[in-house]
Structure 1
């Protein structure tokens, strides 16, 4: 099964929203800066809110990570649901607020054993 395309958008606080396969994950503003300027991998998190009998609980989990590819021209986002790629220039434009969003393209890894 091939992952669906996704969208990358900016938050008001300067972080990024990764929207893929009906899930919304986030990259914190400080992690976005570290990813862009230092090339350090950034955790991709998801907040889940559960309501059980009037009690509301919230938990934040790390769903994957985002890293600059070895060539330095794209960012690969690895999540439990699959992997996506976005050009580094597009991610930078969204992070700076110059673009409202950018498309995420599914990354299909070749099966070496076929």
Structure 2
């Protein structure tokens, strides 16, 4: 079963997505494309690992995408762990820093937004 998640505001306008133990982010520069032009934007994951010599390496990879739903009233987030929806007004409030966080609601498997 897909767990509920949280969208939260981070430093520099980056949005953080937290679902169970997984953490993702949406870069501040990508938000304009989504909110003003309804373009699909990447959701990135930050994977940290330690090399055999003890050096901490951080790899950033695209692990999903965010898009406006067909009605334009919600944002749909597709990640490796599942798909989620958040009302557009809640997404905008977090993106502007007016709200610290907002809940993400899991989409029913087989139903696309």
TM-score (norm 1): 0.91
Aligned to 2:96: 96
CA–CA separation in structure 1 for the residues paired with 2:21 and 2:3: 10
Q: Secondary structure at the match of 2:11?
A: coil
* In 1: Cα distance, 2:74 partner to 2:48 partner: 32
Whole-Å separation in 1 of the counterparts to 2:48 and 2:23: 13
Q: In the aligned structure 2, how far is the partner of 1:11 from the partner of 1:33?
A: 16
Q: Residues of 2 paired with 1:39 and 1:101: CA distance?
A: 22
Moved over 6 A (4+): none
Q: Deviations over 1:1-32 (max 9, x none)?
A: x2100000011201210111211100000111
Deviates more, 1:45-54 or 1:13-22: 45-54
Worse-matched range after superposition: 76-85 or 47-56: 47-56
1:57 & 1:96 partners in 2: Cα distance?
Answer: 31
Separation in structure 2 between the aligned mates of residue 110 and residue 47 of structure 1, nearest angstrom:
28
What runs of 5+ residues in structure 1 fail to find an aligned partner?
none
- Residue 105 of structure 1 is matched in structure 2 by 105
CA RMSD after TM alignment = 1.2
Distance 2:86 2:98 in 1: 16
Q: Which ranges of structure 2 fall in alignment gaps of 5 or more residues?
A: none
The whole-number CA distance in structure 1 between the counterparts of 2:35 and 2:27 is 12
- For residue 66 of structure 1, give the secondary structure of its aligned residue in structure 2: strand
- What is the TM-score when the length of structure 2 is the normalising length? 0.92
In the TM superposition, residue 44 of structure 1 has moved relative to its aligned partner by 0.2
